[in-house]
Structure 1
Amino acid sequence: MPNEGSTFEFGRSMRPHFLLEDDYIPLNHGSYGTFPKVVREALQGYQNKIESNPDKFMRRDLESELHKARETVSKFINVEVNEIVFVQNTTTGINAILKSLKYEKGDKLLYLSTVYSSIRELLMFIQENNHENVELVEIEANYPLSEDDLIDKIVRVIQEENQKPNMRIKLAVIDSISSNPGVVFPFQRLIPILRQNDILSIVDGAHAIGQIPLDIKEINPDFFVTNCHKWLYTARSSAILYVPLKHQKKIHPTVTSPFTADGFIPEFSWTGTQDFSSYLTIHAALEFRKKIGGEEKIRNYCKKLAIEGGKKIASILGTEIIGPENVIQNMVNIRLPILVSNKEFSEKKFIDLMLNNYNFAVAIFEHNGHWYIRASAQIYTDIDDFEKVGHIVKEICDSF
């Protein structure tokens, strides 16, 4: 698919710009991401610079280099540079938020059943460590589900919980795009509703940056965390934690920093010696994206391919995708023709066959009484990749 204003053509012709194996069919960018060769070159350049004089870099250059990287990404997502810091991943950022906040008797933590597994465990940890003070409120979200129905359901639960005496919903953890199923969540519509009910909004934006447009000032969440190493093409591991000035005194890194007394930015910028190079590859990642055609062209290609590719796999399997199309961006969920009651079939068996016998990758999960695969569209994949995976997955399913 040609890009207007760019000499780059998306699809398999982009594979030479990445490090992917020739015979590997990569439809699982959503889990771990991967970065282009120019980003690897930038990563190695920073690593070489650091190793050439570690003391000078760590003591003199690191602070300014991190500031420049934050400045670059702050313009990309329209946020003040002093309201974001780098963390290793979204899970780390949400841990910092939830473990920093103070809880009182009667506090409730709201979340959806589609919450990422490690964040669910974190919420349970918060509850267990606050004894009887904290109650968890889970809202079931079973797809297919319309955006309006989902919002109505959440509002109904909030109203019901608010009517109970001596208890309040303190915060809500919501996705921008959930992982399993990989669907776009109406978080921008929900945040004002949460604010009206005096509920803190914590957005798990693990899949957001690089997949959907982000204007943090306009979205105006209480907290937002997003992985740069998934859809934005930075080196792994690299994520952005947004905390507005009004909340910064409350939030601390999970690893205590020697600069705790110096404020939000210094405290998060040094929690101990690590390789900071991945954070600094933000410049190369954004430059690469501009060079190949820009954000809108990347989004349009991936969304179109996700929808068409998902439908192609579904037609081969004789099933369907999770819709409607407005919940699809770069990831599409396709139902497998396997009953969950089939005890011969398991996630582990599927993954073993996928990686060991066929050398392709998708995510697999159980949702709403069915098995699904989640396939990711990327600028280095095309409809042929989806068709090939469709036939392979059919072969695997038929074997059970």
Structure 2
Amino acid sequence: MSVPPPPDPIAGARLLFSLDPAVSHLNHGSFGAVPIVAQRAQQRLRDEMEADPLRFFTQGLVDRVAHARRHLAGFLGADPDGAALTTNATTGVAVVLQSLGLRPGDEVLTTDHGYGAVEFSVHRECRRTGATHRVLPVPLAATAEEIVQLVRSGLRPGRTRLLVVDQLTSATAKLFPVAAIVGVAREHGVSVLVDAAHAPGMLPATVRSIGADFWVGNLHKWGYAPRGTAILAVAPQWRERIEPLVVSWEQEAGFPGRLEWQATADYTPWLSAPVGLYTLRTLGVDQVRAHNAALAAYGQRVLGDALGVPPADLPAPGGPSVAMRIVPLPAGLASTVDAARALQTRIAERLATQVAITSWNGRGWLRLCGQVYNSAEEYDRLAVRLPALLDQR
């Protein structure tokens, strides 16, 4: 079966970024890429801060942060008064975990697709409080209906205190039916934290439509914001219980101010984040989503063909707007975290190509992304050169 043609490029999009043209950047999902216009906006804010630090931090900064939050929350379909800016999704998860008041006998349930740093955070909070952590296996090929049923069967009413579930998984690029999962958990009296690290800018679902107790997503990936920009949305019944990891001068202001104000933190990513969203809107949100998803699908097929993976064995797309795909690596390659990291470094150094190599359930996977600054030729070039590199193991 022939590989379907790639999407037409979005004219001029590559020029909006300052990425090294000698490198193929096929891993947008890890650290994103900031448009030049947002970089310059942030630099102007840094210049303002350094010109008069006392004025910058003490005259109107709280209001400026709130204004940026309202703008970003509106884009995500979140309540601006029920959302707080934070540095990344992992930080938001840690805030929720330490605010819950877990006790011995409580259980935190995650899936085996969860992000590694989030798993570490759950482990730590359970050790600290005496709660337990249980992992629910979800097959890679599970349908949305099957996932919901697995979650339903896995909940332990009266014991499961929190379910942590990814909206789009990092390791496996799998889309979870989070709104349906939230509905099932609510029937059983279980709170839900949605780790939506990859959702803002890529996926169309709004925070309100999902209805989770807690939802946290990064804007510095697919929302083109400077790094260190994320939003934690909290349901009304939880807001006054949310405590920051570090207490500072806005503590008595309540949520969200007590979470956002962290003394001499660098607030310039948050203040310039609306410029990143402006870039996305200028290109056309729907057009960007469709382009990126189609390009990632093209790259998956090209790489799969080069590695001898039949199309039927390539993991099915998570949905029409998912711009990340995975390709199974030959058996024995990248089967551990350390081996995956080593292979990712080799590909970067020898092939001048940035991809993500992950180890999931004892199998190595290559994750690639599609973004407006990418071209079909970059995936074609990797497909030609990668098999020989893998044979050198």
Name the TM-score, length of structure 2 as normaliser: 0.92
After superposing the two structures, state which structure 1 stretch, 297-306 or 349-358, moved more. Answer: 349-358
Residue in 1 aligned with 2:255? 264
The one-character-per-residue Cα deviations of 1:177-202 (angstroms, maximum 9, x if unpaired) are 11101221111211111111111110
AA of the residue aligned to 2:388: E
Partners of 1:288 and 1:348 in 2: how far apart?
32
Alignment of 1:230-245 (within 5 A): 230-245=221-236
Partners of 2:147 and 2:335 in 1: how far apart?
30
Alignment of 1:293-372 (within 5 A): 294-320=284-310, 322-327=314-319, 329-340=322-333, 346-372=339-365
Residue in 1 aligned with 2:10? 10
Alignment of 1:85-96 (within 5 A): 85-96=84-95
The one-character-per-residue Cα deviations of 1:24-76 (angstroms, maximum 9, x if unpaired) are 00110001111110111111111112222221221112112112111111221
Alignment of 1:103-182 (within 5 A): 103-131=102-130, 134-158=131-155, 161-162=156-157, 167-182=158-173
Is 1:77 paired with 2:76?
yes
Residue in 2 aligned with 1:61? 60
Residue in 2 aligned with 1:6? none
Residue in 1 aligned with 2:392? 399
AA of the residue aligned to 2:285: E
- Find 1:380's aligned residue among 363, 373, 381: 373
After superposing the two structures, state which structure 1 stretch, 87-96 or 208-217, moved more. Answer: 208-217
AA of the residue aligned to 1:252: E
3-state DSSP of counterpart to 1:103: coil
Identity %, equivalent residues: 24
Q: Displacement, 1:222?
A: 0.4
Partners of 2:386 and 2:339 in 1: how far apart?
14
AA of the residue aligned to 2:38: V
Seen in structure 2, the aligned counterparts of structure 1 residues 37 and 340 have a Cα distance that, compared at 3 Å, is: closer
- Find 1:291's aligned residue among 282, 297, 306: 282
Partners of 2:266 and 2:174 in 1: how far apart?
33
Partners of 2:56 and 2:235 in 1: how far apart?
29
Residue in 1 aligned with 2:3? none
The one-character-per-residue Cα deviations of 1:88-112 (angstroms, maximum 9, x if unpaired) are 1111111011011112332111110
| Structure 1 residue ranges, 4+ long, deviating more than 3 angstroms after superposition | 340-343
Partners of 2:329 and 2:209 in 1: how far apart?
39
Contact 1:25/1:361, CA 8 A, preserved across alignment:
yes
Seen in structure 2, the aligned counterparts of structure 1 residues 244 and 153 have a Cα distance that, compared at 3 Å, is: closer
Q: Displacement, 1:341?
A: 9.3
Residue in 2 aligned with 1:99? 98
Contact 2:7/2:291, CA 8 A, preserved across alignment:
no
3-state DSSP of counterpart to 1:188: helix
Partners of 1:38 and 1:341 in 2: how far apart?
38
Could you list the runs of 5+ residues in structure 2 that have no partner in the other structure? 1-5
After superposing the two structures, state which structure 1 stretch, 380-389 or 31-40, moved more. Answer: 380-389
Contact 1:338/1:397, CA 8 A, preserved across alignment:
no
3-state DSSP of counterpart to 1:180: coil
Partners of 1:331 and 1:178 in 2: how far apart?
10
Residue in 1 aligned with 2:39? 40
Q: Displacement, 1:351?
A: 2.3
3-state DSSP of counterpart to 1:39: helix
3-state DSSP of counterpart to 1:373: strand
Q: Displacement, 1:346?
A: 2.4
AA of the residue aligned to 1:242: A
Name the TM-score, length of structure 1 as normaliser: 0.91
3-state DSSP of counterpart to 1:325: coil
AA of the residue aligned to 1:275: D
Partners of 1:74 and 1:259 in 2: how far apart?
20
Partners of 1:81 and 1:348 in 2: how far apart?
38
Contact 1:146/1:324, CA 8 A, preserved across alignment:
no
Contact 1:350/1:396, CA 8 A, preserved across alignment:
no
3-state DSSP of counterpart to 1:372: strand
Number of corresponding residues: 384
Partners of 1:17 and 1:350 in 2: how far apart?
30
Contact 1:144/1:322, CA 8 A, preserved across alignment:
no
Seen in structure 2, the aligned counterparts of structure 1 residues 399 and 192 have a Cα distance that, compared at 3 Å, is: same
Partners of 1:143 and 1:98 in 2: how far apart?
27
3-state DSSP of counterpart to 1:346: helix
Contact 2:334/2:357, CA 8 A, preserved across alignment:
no
Partners of 2:118 and 2:361 in 1: how far apart?
20
3-state DSSP of counterpart to 1:75: helix
Is 1:273 paired with 2:270?
no
3-state DSSP of counterpart to 2:212: coil
3-state DSSP of counterpart to 2:295: helix
AA of the residue aligned to 2:272: T
Partners of 2:318 and 2:358 in 1: how far apart?
21
Partners of 2:345 and 2:74 in 1: how far apart?
42
Seen in structure 2, the aligned counterparts of structure 1 residues 99 and 213 have a Cα distance that, compared at 3 Å, is: same
Is 1:26 paired with 2:34?
no
Could you list the runs of 5+ residues in structure 1 that have no partner in the other structure? 4-8
Partners of 1:349 and 1:76 in 2: how far apart?
38
Partners of 1:182 and 1:220 in 2: how far apart?
22
AA of the residue aligned to 2:315: G
Q: Displacement, 1:364?
A: 0.6
